[in-house]
Amino acid sequence: MNFLIKRIAFFALLSFAFFSCEDPKDIGLDLQPENQNFGVLFTEDLDVQTTTILVDSVRTHRSPYFLAGRYQDPVLGTITAKSFLQVRYSSIDSTLNLGTSLTFDSLVLILDYEYDYGNTGQAQNLFVHRLTDSLRRKVYYNYDKLPYESTPVGSLNFVANTKRDTLRFRLSNELGNQLMSFAGKSEAEFFSSFYGLALMGGETDNGAVIAPIITASSTATVLRLYYHNSASADQKTYEFFLDGLNFNHIQSERTGVLAGLQNPYDALPSANAGELSYVQAGIGLMTKVEFPDIKKLIEKGNIGINRAELVIAPVDGTVVNAATPPPVLTLYGTGTDNKLVSDSAIRYIPLEGDFTRGIPNIANYNSTKKTYTFSINQYINNLLYQPSATNGLFLSLPSVGFLTIAANSNNTFSLPANTPYYERSVDRLVIGSRKHPTNPIKLRVYYTLVDSQ
């Protein structure tokens, strides 16, 4: 039988999932060529190399989440987040229409939040400062920041807990009177004189990073002005919106072996880090995964992949307090230079069997097994027969671009409601290498072997 016919007959059998070698007559292989034996074998002994990579800067602008706070992670060092945001008129006003003969009562910042990460249950601070420069650019990154006045215009001491989903604190009368002085003026005049606000935690806090949110379903995050005017003795309110230009500054003060990750694309092999690698959203830490000896499989003969699974478990002892494992992980493509493979957007590894529509390959955290499991059949097949097509995988959190994919997928792709995104959170994960004593990463491969006789 010529090679082409052998390959056709061989791949026609790959839809069968067998977990041990069997006599072909016992499993009914009608397409079995004469003088050929088929067996399905299993291995999880192939090498998996893991490396922590500090990828390039993370875009954090135009986020519905305002990250603010400071916590000291026992694994990854001190994480600090500050949010810089523009204040604007309500959507119905081109000018600030408050009436005449105004009397200021109070100014209250109301923050509706649904995310916290770090040392929840600890008293911490939140400070509001007035910006001294405006948000001019369309794109901002996690390393960007703007100058602000040293004296805060408001502060709040609180305990982070998403069960308490609203924070309210009064801002200074001086700021309130400044905002009220724009009555009758255009929004352009307002922007030219009032640059916005910065939201941040205390400089010595060891609490949590929280994220006040503005979405279509959550519009409670506002700056509310209380006042009187000559038209009525009743108190009136005006709500300034916070859904204009914004970005998050996210900084990590890494210690120990991770302190060497300073510049984009710096790499730390797990072998040099206690057989550990790391993932952290917001600051650009990803784990690169490679399979250096995968070609040992084809040394066995004519083989094809029935099923390949990448199994990842958080390292015992690294899940502390609110630093829980991310509910979802995903895989991205990498280049030889440790950069994310991209065209107009980050190129993710597609879901198995769904290559034409480009549905991302995600893995949900299984809280019972305490693992993430990715199906990577096609990827491993490509490594065997198209080795130039890939240079490894990046493991990280989903990108916000997945929201657009979900919206356009006709309900065939979705993410959990509590999904933290790579650009909008500081969630982290500690992963054991292939040689880790208790929580090793594993590549499980079920493959069909054609044995000529």
- Tell me how many degrees the CA angle 168-169-172 measures, rounded to the nearest 5: 150
Tell me, yes or no, whether 405 and 310 share the same domain: yes
3-state secondary structure of 173: helix
Q: Which of 212, 244, 276 is the last residue of a domain?
A: 244
Tell me, yes or no, whether 12 and 120 share the same domain: no
The confidence score (pLDDT) of residue 330 equals: 94
The confidence score (pLDDT) of residue 12 equals: 37
Tell me, yes or no, whether 408 and 348 share the same domain: yes
DSSP 93: -
Tell me, yes or no, whether 173 and 51 share the same domain: no
Could you tell me the two tokens for 238?
């005006």
Q: For the chain, give the longest Cα–Cα distance.
A: 100
Report the helix count and the strand count for the chain, using DSSP H and E: 6, 23
The confidence score (pLDDT) of residue 450 equals: 74
- The secondary structure element, H or E, covering residue 72 is strand 68-73
Tell me, yes or no, whether 417 and 373 share the same domain: yes
For residues 108 and 169, the answer to whether their CB atoms sit within 8 Å is yes
- In this prediction, residues 57-79 reach a mean pLDDT of 93
- pLDDT over threshold 90, residue 345: no
d(CA 227, CA 179): 11
The confidence score (pLDDT) of residue 161 equals: 81
Residues 6+ apart with CB under 8 A from 375: 307, 308, 309, 352, 361
pLDDT in tens, 25-57: 333 333 444 555 567 899 999 999 999 999 989
Residues 6+ apart with CB under 8 A from 418: 327
- End-to-end CA separation in angstroms for the chain: 13
Q: Which of 187, 221, 244 is the last residue of a domain?
A: 244
pLDDT in tens, 82-91: 999 999 998 7
Kindly state whether residue 432 falls inside one of the protein's structural domains.
yes
The confidence score (pLDDT) of residue 338 equals: 83
Tell me, yes or no, whether 304 and 342 share the same domain: yes
Tell me, yes or no, whether 30 and 108 share the same domain: no
For residues 294 and 94, the answer to whether their CB atoms sit within 8 Å is no
Kindly state whether residue 60 falls inside one of the protein's structural domains.
no
Any idea which residue has 């250096």 for tokens?
A: 292
pLDDT in tens, 253-308: 999 999 999 999 999 999 999 999 999 999 999 999 999 999 888 888 888 889 99
Q: Which of 244, 268, 287 is the last residue of a domain?
A: 244
The confidence score (pLDDT) of residue 390 equals: 62
The alpha carbon dihedral of 385, 386, 390, 396 has a sign of negative
d(CA 60, CA 246): 8
d(CA 163, CA 56): 35
pTM of the model: 0.86
Residues 6+ apart with CB under 8 A from 158: 123, 124, 125, 126, 164, 167
Domain extent for 211: 68-244
256 burial class (0-12, 13-18, 19+ CB within 10 angstroms)?
exposed
The confidence score (pLDDT) of residue 263 equals: 93
Kindly state whether residue 63 falls inside one of the protein's structural domains.
no
Considering its fold, how many domains does the chain have in total? 2
Closest CA to 374 of 344, 348, 345: 348
Tell me, yes or no, whether 231 and 107 share the same domain: yes
**In this predicted structure, which of 169-178, 270-279, 308-317, 405-414 has the lowest mean pLDDT?**
405-414
Q: How many residues does the chain have?
A: 453
